[in-house]
Amino acid sequence: MCRKISPLTFILIALFALHLNGRSQGFEADSVFTWKLIESPNIGNQSIIQFFANSAITPTAWDFGDGGTSTLESPIHTFNYTSWTDSITVTLSFTINGESRAHSRDIPLSPAFFIPHYDRNLGRLAEYKFIFLNMYRIPNHADSLGNLRFHWFIDGTPLADNAFDDATLGQWPNIYYTFSSAGIHQVKLEVNHTGSGQTAEFTQTIRVQPDLTAGKVPFQFVPNVFTPNEDGTNDRFVIPTSGTGWFRIKFFSRSGALVYNTESSIIQWDGKNNQGIDLPEGIYYYVIEDLNGYYEDAKGFVYLFRGKK
């Protein structure tokens, strides 16, 4: 039975790695099975999905959650839905190393479903900057659109850019968008099929913060220690911001010598001086000024601890 997809499911799906896979692209759900959507003219109430089991396992049966089943390795199944927020639970039974197991995933059904990400290179360092990826994962290339046309809306207003030079092709399937203000924003993707005239749409609520319109705000989550040993954990001194300002950043040794300074739209430091040389462990003093006047200036101490990898 179809059901409304939960906010938690949105978050979980947003964490999944995305991989290109031919013209109609899909999501890598996890290590057990993946799926992709296949273009259908009946996008207003139907999704056609192909499933792929991990090559390390032996699939024995698929349960598509709507009464349909299959024993094929890579079955194609047609799902009918009534709401653009519907999802379905798909279960794969399989064997691995002689042991029988089963694995289930909630899968959104609307062809207009999309995934919000922070900028992949900046993450929470730039909380106003988002990437929105359509569920088909069709690249931003005219030859990949087929009969589908994409149109994005922010708070009910069509985007004025992110479009192909040929207006008949609509907008790019995937967009990069920088919000101009904090608050609760509604982002909608509308997908049209030029052959059938059918439309699917999907809307997500995006919370953007901090609010920079009511005077200067203090920096949040300022670290007092970081460990730049390249073990993938706490390797940099970072402070989340909107990513839309401009900062002057300085670090000093305990003796008062300036060891690193830069200007940037984000705040991070990897524990090196301006020549790219690792600085020794110890306590450093920082001064951060917002040249745009959105944030309060910050001063303080941070302990650079290298430890072991």
* 127 shares a domain with 160: yes
Is the domain of 186 the same as that of 121?
Answer: yes
Contacts of residue 197, defined as CB under 8 A and 6 or more positions apart, other chains included, come to none
Which residues does residue 130 pair with via DSSP β-bridges, in sequence order? 118, 177
Cα dihedral: 154, 157, 163, 169 (round 10): 110
What residues make up the domain containing 92?
Answer: 33-108
Give me the percent of the chain exceeding a pLDDT of 70. 90
- Element housing 8 (H / E): helix 7-14
Residue 7 is predicted with a pLDDT of 33
Above 80 in pLDDT, residue 169? Answer: yes
Q: How confident is the model at residue 214 (pLDDT cuts 50, 70, 90)?
A: confident
Which pLDDT score, from 0 to 100, does residue 308 have?
59
| Angstrom distance (rounded) from CA 98 to CA 240 | 48
Tokens 């939960």 found at: 6
Within-domain flag for 21 = no
- Is the pLDDT at 26 greater than 90? The verdict is no
Pull the structure tokens for residue 235: 């390797």
pLDDT at 15 over 60: no
Count of other CB atoms within 10 angstroms of residue 173: 26
Q: What is the mean pLDDT of residues 111-127?
A: 87
Greater pLDDT, 129 or 27:
129
Confidence (pLDDT) at 45: 92
- The lowest-confidence range among 9-18, 81-90, 225-234 is 9-18
76 shares its domain with 90: yes
The yes-or-no verdict on residue 12 having pLDDT over 60 is: no
User: Domain total for the chain?
Assistant: 3
* Distance in angstroms (rounded) separating the CA atoms of residues 115 and 50: 19
Q: Are 188 and 151 in contact (CB under 8 A)?
A: no
User: Would residue 84 be called left, alpha or beta, if left means φ above 0 and alpha means ψ between -120 and 50 degrees?
Assistant: alpha
pLDDT at position 17 = 31
CATH of the domain at 152: 2.60.40.10
Mean pLDDT for the stretch of residues 141-149: 93
Q: Which of 108, 123, 141 is the last residue of a domain?
A: 108
- 174 part of a folded domain: yes
pLDDT at 216 over 70: yes
pLDDT digits (tens, 9 = 90+) for 170-196: 999 999 999 999 999 999 999 999 999
DSSP 67-114: S-EE-SSS-EEEEE-SSTTEEEEEEEEEEETTEEEEEEEEEE--TT-E
Q: Which of 87, 108, 129 is the last residue of a domain?
A: 108
**What are the pLDDT digits (tens) for 242-301?**
999 899 999 999 999 999 999 999 999 999 999 999 999 999 999 999 999 999 999 999
Instruction: Using the predicted structure, report yes or no on whether residue 106 has a pLDDT greater than 70.
Output: yes
The answer, yes or no, to whether the previous bond of 210 is cis (omega within 30 of 0) is: yes
Q: Measured between alpha carbons, how far is 106 from 111 in angstroms, rounded to an integer?
A: 15
**Model pTM?**
0.75
- Mean pLDDT (the chain) is 87
